[in-house]
Structure 1
Amino acid sequence: MTSLFKKAGIVLLAALVIVQFLGPAKTNPPVEEGRTLAANLTTPPEIQTLLKRACADCHSHETAWPWYSHVAPASWFVINHVNDGRRHLNFSDWAKYTPKQASHKLEEIEDLVKRREMPLQSYLLLHSSHAQLSDQDIQTLSGWAKDARSVLDEEISREP
C-alpha cells in the first residue's frame, strides 16, 4: 500500500512539474502612448492613479504579474482572467473604441464601480491593500466616468 502511495505521489509531482510548461502565455504587449485612454480622453492625474492602482492589472497592457501567475494551475486562471479583462476593456488600446463604444465603456465603468462589482472580489482577495476602492474613490471615479461620457455623448450628437 505504501508503495502505491509513493508511486502516486511521484506521478502527481511529475504532473505538477510538467504542467508548469503548459498553458497560456503571459503577455504585456507594448503600449503605444497615442492609443491609451489618457491620450484620447481627458483623464486627470487622480483618475489615472486610481485606474492604475485598481484596474490596470486586468484592463491594460501594463499588468504587474504576481508570483502566483508563474505557478500552474493558478497561472492559467490569472492569465485567462487578464486576457478576458483586456477583451472587455483595455485602457492601453482605448483608440480602438468608436465614440459610441467609448461612451458605453464609461457607462459600464460608472455602473460597475458604483455597484462594487469592479474590481472583482476574486482580485481583491489578494490585492486589497492597493486595489480596494474607498467610498471617495468610487465617487471620484464614477463621477469622472459620467462627466467624460457626457462630453462624448455631446460629440456623438453633433456628428452627421
Structure 2
Amino acid sequence: MAVAALAMFVGIQFIQPVKNRSSQMDTANDISRLYPIPAGIQDILQRACYDCHSNTTRYPWYAHIQPAGWWMASHVKTGKEALNFSEYGRYSLKRRRNKLERMKEEILEDRMPLGSYTMIHTDARLTAEEKALLVNWMAEAGEK
C-alpha cells in the first residue's frame, strides 16, 4: 500500500499546472496606466496582491510539488477572475470603480489578502498603516 501511494505521489509530479507568467510584456492594460500609483503603494500591491491578482505570479518552492501546485493554480485562477491588475484597463469605467470599492471593503474587513496566503507569505500581511494607505489611494483613484 505504501509503495502504491509513493508511486502515485511521484507520478503526479509530472502533471504540472500552467504557470501564471505573462509571455508578453504588454502593460497597456495595467492599472498603473490608468491611475498614478506611488512607489509605496505599488510595493504593497506587488507584495500582497499581485501573486493572485495579476498576470505574473511569484512561485515559491512548494508550488512545484503536487498537489500544492494545483491548489495554488486554482487560487490564482479564481483571484484573476475576481480582479486582474494586469487587465484592469479592459474593464469598463463602472466596473473599475466598483472594483476599487470592493478592494477597499475587502481590505477593511480583513478578507484580503487571504489568511491562507498570509500564513505562508508573512510579508503579505498588511499593517494598519498599509491598509490605510491602500484604502486612501483607492478612494482617490475612484474619484478620477
By the TM > 0.5 criterion, same fold? yes
Q: What's the CA shift string for 1:4-33, capped at 9, x where partnerless? A: xxxx11111110011112253222123412
* Residue in structure 1 matching 2:7, options 8, 14, 23: 14
- Which has more radius of gyration? 1
* Letter of the 2:138 counterpart: A
Q: Secondary structure at the match of 2:37?
A: coil
**Mapped partners of 2:84, 2:129: distance in 1:** 24
The structure 1 segments of at least 4 consecutive aligned residues displaced by more than 3 Å after TM superposition are none
- Relative to the length of structure 1, the TM-score reads 0.85
* Letter of the 1:64 counterpart: R
Q: 1:17-96 counterparts in 2 under 5 A?
A: 17-22=10-15, 24-29=17-22, 30-96=24-90
**Mapped partners of 2:6, 2:16: distance in 1:** 17
Name the structure with the higher helix share. 1
Q: 1:147-158 counterparts in 2 under 5 A?
A: 147-151=140-144
- Relative to the length of structure 2, the TM-score reads 0.94
Which residue does 1:156 correspond to in 2?
Answer: none
Identity of matched residues, %: 34
Q: Secondary structure at the match of 2:120?
A: helix
CA-atom RMSD in angstroms: 1.2
List alignment gaps of at least 5 residues for structure 1. Answer: 1-7, 152-160
* Letter of the 1:148 counterpart: A
Q: 1:112-151 counterparts in 2 under 5 A?
A: 112-128=106-122, 130-151=123-144
**Mapped partners of 1:69, 1:23: distance in 2:** 9
**Mapped partners of 1:98, 1:69: distance in 2:** 33
